[in-house]
Amino acid sequence: MIYLAIFCLLSIAWWYRKCKNDVITYWPILADLPSLICNAHRINDWLVEVANMYGLTKLLRGAFFARVDYLLTCDPRNFEYITKTNVSNYPKGQEYNKVFDILGTGVFNSDFDLWHGQRTLARSAFTSNNLLSLVASLCEKVAKDDLFPLLSGLVKTSSPVDLEDIFLRYTFDIICVTIFGRNPKCLSKDLPNHELAKAMDDALQVIFFRHVTPSFWWKLCRWLRIGNEKKLHNAWETVDRLMTQYISLKKEDLLQGGQEQNDLLSSYIYFQKEKKKYSYEGDKFLRDSVLGQLSAGRDATGAALSWFFYMILKNPVVEAKIIEELNGIYMQHSSFANEQKAKRPWVFNSGDLKGLVYLHAAMCESLRLNPGVPINRKEVLREDILPDGTVVKPGMTIIMSLYAMGRMESVWGKDCMEYKPERWINENGKFRQEHMDKFFAFGSGPRLCIGKDIGVTMIKSAVANILFNFHVELVKGHHVYPKSSLVLNMKNGMMVEVKPRVA
């Protein structure tokens, strides 16, 4: 017995020394699950480490009782194949629908015929009301009426502020007007909290934990209504209550007539009334159709905007080049007849920003390193072989890490970790379209983000108008790093000081 005990201890010691430096440690019965759980708090950086150690694609064995294997990949060839070439074999899947059950059957949470119908309606709603034009005008109005007064007040008081919080309020206000035709005014001077925004934050947090927790466990917690699942239940009730209120108010507006309603919800109500195709679902159809759009417009865009601004603040040379480019537009609006420059604060419109190559390159470079949604998830229907030679089996879950792909030397070169907008500009000063073949920040193929242009407009408008009119500095000693979430939020926000921009 003594010899057996010594042998077991030596075996455990050997195994520990062998595995302690590995990014993934294989455990009996539990397989690779403990590695995933132990790194959940830093999931995106862990996926980078996995790719650097094992290559762009790595199979992660699920626990014996889970019976699910995960394929981690950041290979752009696989991304292209999964999202474009053989997209029908890689739906989001039933398990995805269960994890994101709060979204219902909207375009972000459906597959096949249901998705196609939702996508067609969404496209019609976006184009019939010209939502891009609406958002462009809203960006100007919100900047002038809300953002500038708020930041000017911070200049006077010299008060530090969490800029990520400001950006999430900015995107929430704009997207609420776009969808519901109502401005919650979260950018008011007293920075009021909003129930719907808070409920969405809570829901996203719990859905992330569902991704890194064995399904049997979170489903048991959901049934018992304990822990994180209780938080999601409460958030769900809040979302449903407020969405019902918004839908009822919009129907009253439409019944009363008056001025034309050009928001997204009005379009869906019109589709439901005229086509009568979805009338059997009542308000649930309306709720599910706009809820995903609300989350994408507020959360994903707000996160992408926050990281873009952070990258600019960390790179003064980039900031100077963007301001120089903006100054060229500003000078075109100046009144040279009276030898006076246009008044500040100056609000740029979307037309002003369309041709700015460096601003666009700087945004793409930030999205390369910090995509608003850093991970995509797919399910395998039929056995297949990916472009890198990996064999995938039915039921397997594929985790596609956009965050890791942006940090791969084999994809972007030895300077992959540098924030370098110049990589997107060719020798003729034009934007390098060829890099878009390995750029998936807005998705790709049939499921390319339908609100891509809206998100880009919101991001560029906020960056241009703030940078040109204010000098923003990071608070010394404040560290900014990613939060473990489905959306690339910042764990401790982005504390800054706002000062006037010297012309």
The pair of structure tokens assigned to 226 is 């304990």
Strand partners, 335: 340
The pair of structure tokens assigned to 87 is 């997209």
**Alpha-carbon gap, residue 27 to 24, rounded angstroms:** 10
Q: At what angle do helices 163-180 and 301-313 cross, to 10 degrees?
A: 150
Question: Is 221 annotated in some ligand binding site?
Answer: no
Cα angle, residue 185 at apex, residues 180 and 187 outer, rounded to 5°: 135
SS3 119: helix
Q: At what angle do helices 357-369 and 301-313 cross, to 10 degrees?
A: 110
Question: Residue 345, preceding bond cis, omega within 30 degrees?
Answer: yes
Which candidate, 375, 382, 372, places its Cα nearest to that of 212? 375
**Alpha-carbon gap, residue 327 to 347, rounded angstroms:** 12
CB atoms inside a 10 Å sphere around CB 352: 20
Strand partners, 378: 398
Residue with token string 């649930």:
284
**Alpha-carbon gap, residue 58 to 387, rounded angstroms:** 14
Binding site for heme: which residues? 449
Q: Which residues are annotated as a binding site?
A: 449
